[in-house]
């Protein structure tokens, strides 16, 4: 099975930029998505196909994917962004896989 | 509005079976692929199964292969997950989610249904 590795936690000050990484073998050759999950709620899609943002997702959320690492960047982080974030990858051989999740703390 | 509503969860003994349902509304269910994703208590998301819009192409995670089966009834706008030979490790909240193509993200999620396997 395909493994995706995320840092367990990331901290950021309000208004600053947060970066959450997701690592996997040749991840840049696959399509990555990112999800936000707040406590007690269902996940919400933030980014798909590496860089695309669904309608209704704020522009401060952006994604990139190259080499073995995909990155979710949150610009101008707000207190409401405190949540768990998961990366997910797909390709024809990988099927679907999730990273272990990163808890974002806005200090 | 676009909505997915899971049901069928509960408390079950090890080795028993359960069938989960996911009722879709507000969109053309028969044109979307559908996933099952689970989340054990205090843990991360785990992909479980996928079925393409036509019900022909199906994929299951290695952890559930041979025990769980995904299916759908497009005439009833409903997705199913049959869970057999349940073990304590299957205790989790089970979510259904839709996807427009293989590589696209899961853009609509249900609220989840809880399965607890305990003797």
At B88 the pLDDT is: 97
A81 φ, ψ to 5°? -85, -5
Residue of chain A minimizing CA distance to B107: A45
Confidence of residue A95 (pLDDT cuts 50, 70, 90): confident
**Mutate which of A95, A100, A101, A102 to disrupt the B interface (most B C-beta within 10 Å)?**
A95
At B79 the pLDDT is: 98
At A102 the pLDDT is: 98
Contact B50, B115 (CB under 8 A): no
The closest of A75, A80, A71 to A106, measured between CA atoms, is A80
Contact B5, B111 (CB under 8 A): yes
The closest of A54, A46, A31 to A83, measured between CA atoms, is A46
At B104 the pLDDT is: 87
**For B47, which of A44, A96, A100 is closest by C-beta distance?**
A96
The answer on pLDDT for B21 being more than 90 is yes
The answer on pLDDT for B45 being more than 80 is yes
Question: Exposure pattern of A26-62 as b/e (b: 16+ CB <10 Å)?
Answer: ebeebbbbbbbbeeeebbbbbbbebeebeeebeeebb
Determine contact: A71 vs chain B, CB below 8 A. no
At B4 the pLDDT is: 98
pLDDT in tens, A33-82: 999 999 999 999 999 999 999 999 999 999 999 999 999 999 999 999 99
Q: Which helix (H) or strand (E) holds B60?
A: strand B58-60
Residue of chain A minimizing CA distance to B100: A48
pLDDT in tens, A12-35: 999 999 999 999 999 999 999 999
The answer on pLDDT for A91 being more than 90 is no
CA distance A56 to B77: 26
Biggest CA pair distance of chain A:
40
């Amino acid at each position: 099975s395909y493994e995706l590795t995320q840092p367990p936690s990331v901290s950021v000050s309000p208004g600053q930029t947060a970066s959450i990484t997701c690592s996997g073998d040749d991840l840049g050759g696959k399509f990555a998505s990112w999800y936000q999950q707040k406590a007690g709620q269902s996940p919400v899609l933030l980014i798909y196909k590496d860089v695309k943002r669904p309608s209704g997702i704020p522009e401060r959320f952006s994604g990139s994917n190259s080499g073995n690492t995909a990155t979710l960047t949150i610009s101008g982080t707000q207190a409401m962004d405190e949540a768990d974030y998961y990366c997910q990858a797909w390709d024809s051989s990988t099927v679907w896989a999730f990273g272990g999740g990163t808890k974002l703390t806005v200090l | 509005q676009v909505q997915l509503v899971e049901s069928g969860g509960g408390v079950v003994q090890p080795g028993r079976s359960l069938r989960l349902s996911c009722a879709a509304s507000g969109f053309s269910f028969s044109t979307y692929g559908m996933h099952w994703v689970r989340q054990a208590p205090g843990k991360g998301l785990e992909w479980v199964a996928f079925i393409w819009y036509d019900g022909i192409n199906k994929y299951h995670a290695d952890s559930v292969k041979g025990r769980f089966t995904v299916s759908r009834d497009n005439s009833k706008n409903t997705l199913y997950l049959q869970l057999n030979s349940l073990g304590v490790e299957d205790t989790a909240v089970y979510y259904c989610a839709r996807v427009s193509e293989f590589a696209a993200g899961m853009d609509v999620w249900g609220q989840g249904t809880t399965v607890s396997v305990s003797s």
